[in-house]
A and B are shown apart, each in its own frame.
Chain A
Amino acid sequence: MFKEFAKGLSITLKHLLPGHSTTVDYPKQKLTMSPRFRGLHRLVPTQTREKCVACYLCPTVCPAKCITVESAENEKGEKYPKVYKIDLLRCIFCGYCVEACPVEAIEMSDKYELANYKREDFIFDKERLLK
């Protein structure tokens, strides 16, 4: 029994030595996320407009039902999303919207600092998603 006690104590003592903390001192020091990290969404822009063709595939596939798309036609007769909103309070960051998109108009970025003070600030509209 005493051997086990000593063993347990020695394990924790070893961690006390410097260089064992794996935690980052967060606000002062930030990690770069891996390329596969699923953070905030981003609408991919082309030269003149967003790539999205308002096909409604992403709101259909979204399990949390948090994407709102309203399509419209521009003067060239192309379809574009007049309204594109994601309610991040409901989003589960599953990435299905990215997979579903036929034109790769939506992707997930490495932004993870998503805290806000007001509920409204979690609704990301087209302007914020294009940034």
Chain B
Amino acid sequence: MTPVVLSLSNAPALWAAAMLVKIIVAFSVLMGIVAYATWVERKVIGRMQTRLGPTMTGYKGLLQPIADGIKLFFKEDIIPNEASKFAFMLAPMMILAPALISMAVIPFGSDYHLTFGGVTYLIPLQITDLNIGILFILAMAGLGVYGIVLAGLASNSKYSLIGGIRASAQMISYELAAGLSIVAIFMLSETLSLSGIVTAQQGVLWGIKALPSWMHNWYIFSQPLAFGLFVVGSMAEINRTPFDLPEAETELVSGFCTEYSSMKYALFFMAEYANMVTIGAIATTLFLGGWDGPFLGWINFLIKVFGFMFFFIWVRATFPRLRYDQLMQMGWKVMIPLALGNIVVTAVAILLWQ
């Protein structure tokens, strides 16, 4: 019997249950990674700087994220008198939410087969397969900026306001570069759906049989420049060190989040780590063939995402922070022209190939 793709029309109850399970699993795994990313980051950076990192709480400091969470919950939560209270509370959530929502369109693995009531259903390991997946992700990435500006504005502090605006200037300019670098991907794959892009990356490179078998048709091989631009651009967009100028506004007064404390402050950092996971997941899907690989689908996916997380941490331990003018110059004068050039070259190459 041929399997059918599970959808709302053919088995609504099962579809809803599967959806709920997928959302809960994806969310808890993401939150688990976010919590333990802080531990990994402190350990790895510690080692790289010839220190030990956390050792006290639990075995090798493994309970540190939990201890940090408890501590942050019980810290005094200060809201400045003159701040606009509603917007002040809304801002951290507005930063965190887009990072979580982007995960909804990312395919984690190949279809899961489930036989139920005599019918074999195919359940895609993806919360929802939008046919405009990439555009959705770009839109969500853009929304994070609102949270940053809102945080600065609502604090009613001039430093925070200037910090927020500067941060948004940085994020918007790098979003352009990252967004433009993706254009080449959907020119190649001729689809905007992320599952479509993963499928397009299966098989050997460009269909040439003579190439070694490990050379999959992953877009990192055909679009190395776009890959580099995307990774650097999105790192700058999510304020990941060495582009963490929003946090270190002239210098180390935290810029847009100066007035935040306790759990609200922690939300900004949860957002940073959630963003790291999301960027890793997107880069994996777009350039590294998503869940394609030697192991079971979602294991490949996790390995690749962890690879990206490690890379981000590694870069943080290595490079000093950029100055603001260097940051802007690199964004507008180097990355955007390179991304545009890459689109032109890709377009010409596609035309010649056909």
> Which residues in A have some Cβ–Cβ distance to B below 8 Å?
5, 8-9, 11-13, 15-16, 20-23, 25
Min CB gap A2→B, angstroms: 10
For the complex, give the distance between the alpha carbons of A22 and B318 in Å. Answer: 18
Cβ contact within 8 Å between A21 and B50: yes
Cβ contact within 8 Å between A23 and B52: yes
Query: B43-69 interface mask toward A, CB cutoff 8 Å, 1 = contact, 0 = none?
Result: 010111111100100000000000000
- With A8-B319, A9-B315, A9-B318 known as contacts, the answer to whether A16 contacts B52 (CB < 8 A) is no
Min CB gap B222→A, angstroms: 20
Interface residue? B317 (CB, 8 A): yes
- With A15-B49, A15-B50 known as contacts, the answer to whether A25 contacts B55 (CB < 8 A) is yes
For the complex, give the distance between the alpha carbons of A31 and B174 in Å. Answer: 48
Of chain B, the residue at the smallest CB distance from A16 is: B47
Cβ contact within 8 Å between A12 and B48: yes
For the complex, give the distance between the alpha carbons of A25 and B317 in Å. Answer: 21
For the complex, give the distance between the alpha carbons of A66 and B135 in Å. Answer: 69
Cβ contact within 8 Å between A21 and B318: no
Min CB gap B56→A, angstroms: 8
Interface residue? B314 (CB, 8 A): yes
Partner of A25, one of B48, B52, B314, B319: B52
- With A9-B314, A11-B318 known as contacts, the answer to whether A16 contacts B50 (CB < 8 A) is no
Min CB gap A27→B, angstroms: 8
Count B interface residues, CB 8 Å: 14
Min CB gap B47→A, angstroms: 5
Cβ contact within 8 Å between B47 and A15: yes
Of chain B, the residue at the smallest CB distance from A2 is: B228
Cβ contact within 8 Å between A21 and B52: yes
Q: Chain B residues with Cβ under 8 A from A11's Cβ?
A: 318
> Which residues in B have some Cβ–Cβ distance to A below 8 Å?
44, 46-52, 55, 314-315, 317-319
SS of A interface (majority): helix
Q: Chain A residues with Cβ under 8 A from B47's Cβ?
A: 15-16, 20-21
Q: Chain A residues with Cβ under 8 A from B46's Cβ?
A: 21, 23
- With A21-B51, A25-B55 known as contacts, the answer to whether A16 contacts B44 (CB < 8 A) is yes
Cβ contact within 8 Å between A12 and B318: yes
Q: Chain B residues with Cβ under 8 A from A13's Cβ?
A: 48, 314
For the complex, give the distance between the alpha carbons of A8 and B46 in Å. Answer: 16
Of chain A, the residue at the smallest CB distance from B316 is: A12
For the complex, give the distance between the alpha carbons of A23 and B53 in Å. Answer: 9
Cβ contact within 8 Å between B50 and A22: yes
Of chain A, the residue at the smallest CB distance from B319 is: A8
Min CB gap A31→B, angstroms: 14
Min CB gap A29→B, angstroms: 10
Of chain B, the residue at the smallest CB distance from A14 is: B48
Of chain B, the residue at the smallest CB distance from A24 is: B52
For the complex, give the distance between the alpha carbons of A22 and B50 in Å. Answer: 6
Of chain B, the residue at the smallest CB distance from A5 is: B319
Some 17 contacts from A to B, beta carbons below 8 A apart, are A5-B319, A8-B318, A8-B319, A9-B314, A9-B318, A11-B318, A12-B317, A12-B318, A13-B48, A15-B49, A20-B47, A20-B50, A21-B46, A21-B47, A21-B50, A21-B52, A25-B55
Min CB gap A86→B, angstroms: 32
Of chain B, the residue at the smallest CB distance from A18 is: B47
